[in-house]
Amino acid sequence: MKLVLKNKPKRCNRVARNVSQKLRNSGGSMFGNACQRGYFAHNKSPLQFYSDRLHLIRSKKGFICDMDGVVYRGNSLVNGVHSFMEWIKDTDKNLLFLTNTSSASQASLQQKLMKMGLEVPKDWFYTSSIATAQFLSIQKPNCTAYVIGESCLVNDLEESGIIITDSNPDYVVVGEKEYYSRNMINLAVNLVRQGAKLIGTNGDYYDPVEYGAIVPSCGAWVSVIEKATGINAYFVGKPNPIMVRGALKILNMHSHDVAFIGDRMETDILSGVEAALDTVLVLSGVSKMSDIDGEQSNKFGWMPMLVLNSVGDLAPDEYNQIRDPYCREY
């Protein structure tokens, strides 16, 4: 599959500041107390430890990459994405964008990236909408469902043989939607009370957008139905490892050959860990260094293999000499 980089920035003398350079300048202090407290059991210097793990991740044959907070925030690319994508293209690595969004089709995600200067094949996108349709078609072929979500979720379900109805459905499926109405939620509540199983495309309570703001997401709206009915939803999207396993099937690759790149400890990194993938946390989205190396660092019982400022730091230094004037730094 051909990857085209549009609006490709010219090389310039100013080298992008990346994690490896910061480590060289700081003697490895970027790891801070995490190394000092022995979160990573090793007998090497922080710089050598970082270099070894970076080399291991770079040697992977494929990558599963989250989108929001990793590739873009809002309508702006995260700095370093062009470097990463050019490295992927030059080294013939496999890449699949995996996103918890259920409100965008593969075609619309393709167009979104194209407007920001990246042109990638449509089948490089795997959404929670597609994963939910696949899950239900396996669980109960030709089942029925009442759906709260955008047209792409309805289309994915129908293409998988699921019949959309509000009359005694087998499932109530809730995805992301620009406008939720009280009538929709009321109907969903009563259908669940009457016996329909409650399915959420993803459990994210909020999504990051530009300038550090957030917006409520699917999990926040599903929680209203859960509270009203006393029934817990089953979420197909991350951190459910079933979605990562679906991505591995699409790539036709084994878990030890693939790394997972994400910006959320509680979804991306957890789903990667539970699917036995090596994981990379980037600090360009939701989770911050303080989440794993601060006073509240004990709230997660799992850790990423590697922490980077952005996905661009995965590319070798010669690629990070490329800076995109259209990207926004976070």
Q: Which residues participate in catalysis according to the annotation?
A: 66, 68
Q: Could you give the C-alpha distances from 279 to 69, 227, 259, 275, 301, in angstroms and in order?
A: 15, 33, 6, 10, 14
Structure tokens at 107: 């075609």
Pick from 226, 245, 234, 241: which is nearest to 201 by CA? 234
Of 66, 197, 201, 68, nearest in space to 131 by CA: 201
DSSP letter assigned to residue 61: S
Which secondary structure element, helix H or strand E, spans residue 72, and what is its range?
strand 72-73
Torsion, Cα 110 115 118 123, to 10 degrees, reads: 0
The closest alpha carbon to 255, from 269, 274, 270, 236, belongs to: 274
Asked if 78 and 328 touch (Cβ cutoff 8 Å), the reply is yes
CA torsion sign for 40, 292, 312, 103 is positive
Strands 206-208 and 214-216: antiparallel
